[in-house]
Structure formats: structure tokens, C-alpha cells
Amino acid sequence: MSSRCRDAIACAGGALALAVALGCAAADLRVCADPHDLPYSSADARGFENRIAELVAHDLGRTVRYYWQPQWRGYARKTLLAGHCDVIPGIPAAERDVLATQAYYRGTYAFVYAAQRFPALTSFDDPRLRRLRIGVQVVGIDATATPAGLALARRGIVANVVGFPVMGSEPSAARMIDALADGSLDVAIVWSPQPGYFIAQRRLAYAVVPIAAAPGDPPLDFAIAMGVRPGDIALQQALNASLVRLRPEIDAVLHDYAVTRVQPRPDLARLP
């Protein structure tokens, strides 16, 4: 423990608890983030993960310092595990390479469309999907299908599907919303935290409808948490406590960014 924390008076109350949990580490909370990944993060801190990181840092009496890195394949290995940061916000709680905090929201794949054109479109088994132009996100340089893309392929819905690479000059969700607006798509299937932000920016009136997986489909909804290095139990516990204290404020941020969320299914109630 550093000399600044030997004075019991200076470290009284909540400050003492924080000092014990974090070993009186430096005042910075080193956060790894993508500088061009709205609505999550941006170099000018306009993303909702930027705002959540600021809330948590303030709650812990620390200051955010970013290490910027595009969130491509091997992200945790190149950032957190390489020692460039201490926290990655917005990772799947089931991520194996990191030690995850408790989840602070749960996202899913969602249909995005003009509700007046396709009322009550909620399922991959809706027969209208076989004739509509459908946009899906694809991942990485090898254009890997997302769980939503796999669910479509499982039903033989392939020929009318257009892939939108996640990597690009603009976020894939933004490009998909623009494709809906110009008529080149009828329906977009997007990871649900993303589309609301771009719909609001463009002042459009599209529905964002969570999709429930049918038996045999891959999971479509995932708990989202923060990640720390394996073994960094003190920081994980401090972040967990902060996430609990800040739940109303974090919910307000997610609402501000029109993040569509879902509740865990009953069979997943015990998972993060």
C-alpha cells in the first residue's frame, strides 16, 4: 500500500474501502475503447460506453484515461491482456479471455423496419421474410455470419439477404439504417444496442423489435459487462459495486441512446 493511504483519516469511509479494493492504485481508470465505434465509443467521448465509463470512474474517485484501439479480432489480447488498459466496457459477460463484471444490460438481435409497411414482424418464421430484402451484419475480413444470419440460413433465407461488414468507414448499423431510408433494404437485422442511436440522428420512425430465438436457433441475446484481466479480483469487485450503485444512472444513459434491451429468459436467470 502506498504512503498516501497510510493515513487512516485521509482514507476514511468510502475512500478507505476503495483503497483496499484497488490497492490504492493510481487515480486513472485506464479504459480501452474503439475511437470510431458509435454509438458505443468515439475519440471525442460521444458514445454511451464513454458516458458509462465516466460515471464509474467518478464513482470510484478516479479519472478515465483511454487507450484507443479499433475493436477488431484479438481485441482483448492486444489491449487489456497486453497491459495497455485495465477495463474494457461492453464485452459479452461470457467472454473467456477476460474476467467479467456483472452485466449491466442485455442486448439481442432485432428487426428494424417501417412498422406501417410490415406490421407485427417479430419472428424469423414469418413467411414475409422470404420475399423481403434483408440486411444483416457480417463480422471480420472473412464475413462471418452473426447468430441472426445463421438463423436465417437455417431456414433457407439466403438469396434475398445482403451482408453489411461490421468494419467500414461508417458503423454497419448506420449504413443499414441509410439503406432502409433509401429503399435498398426492406428490413435490417441489427444487434439491438446500435440502431436506435442512428434512427434518432436521422429523425426516422423505424421500429426496433427484439427477435426471440426459436428451438434450434443459436442464442440471440447476450449479457453485456465490463472485462478486467484474469485474476484482477479487486478491480472486478470494485466495478461490480459501482455498477450496482449506478444502476439508475446507467439505465438513464442507455435510455438516452435508445438502446433496445431485453430481460433474461427464465432459463438464463442465474447467468450474468
How far is residue 105's CA from residue 48's CA, in Å, rounded to a whole number?
12
For residue 152, what pLDDT is reported?
97
d(CA 262, CA 188): 18
Amino acid residing at 129: L
At residue 142, the pLDDT reads 61
Upstream peptide bond of 39 is cis (omega within 30 degrees of 0) = yes
E strand intervals along 101-220: 105-113, 134-139, 144-145, 161-165, 187-191, 207-210
Taking 70 as the pLDDT cut, the residues of the chain under it are: 1-26, 140-143, 264-272
Q: What are the backbone angles phi and psi of residue 233, rounded to the nearest 5°?
A: -65, -40
Q: Quick: pLDDT tens for 197-207.
A: 999 999 999 99
pTM here is: 0.85
Give the pLDDT confidence score for residue 249 in this predicted structure. Answer: 98
Q: Which residue has the cell 497486453?
A: 82
- List domains and CATH numbers for the chain: 28-104+223-268 (3.40.190.10), 106-210 (3.40.190.10)
CA–CA distance from 25 to each of 19, 81, 222 (Å)? Answer: 7, 18, 32
What's the first-to-final CA gap in the chain, in angstroms?
32
| C-alpha cell at position 144 | 462471418
Which three cell numbers, joined as nine digits, stand for 195?
Answer: 440502431
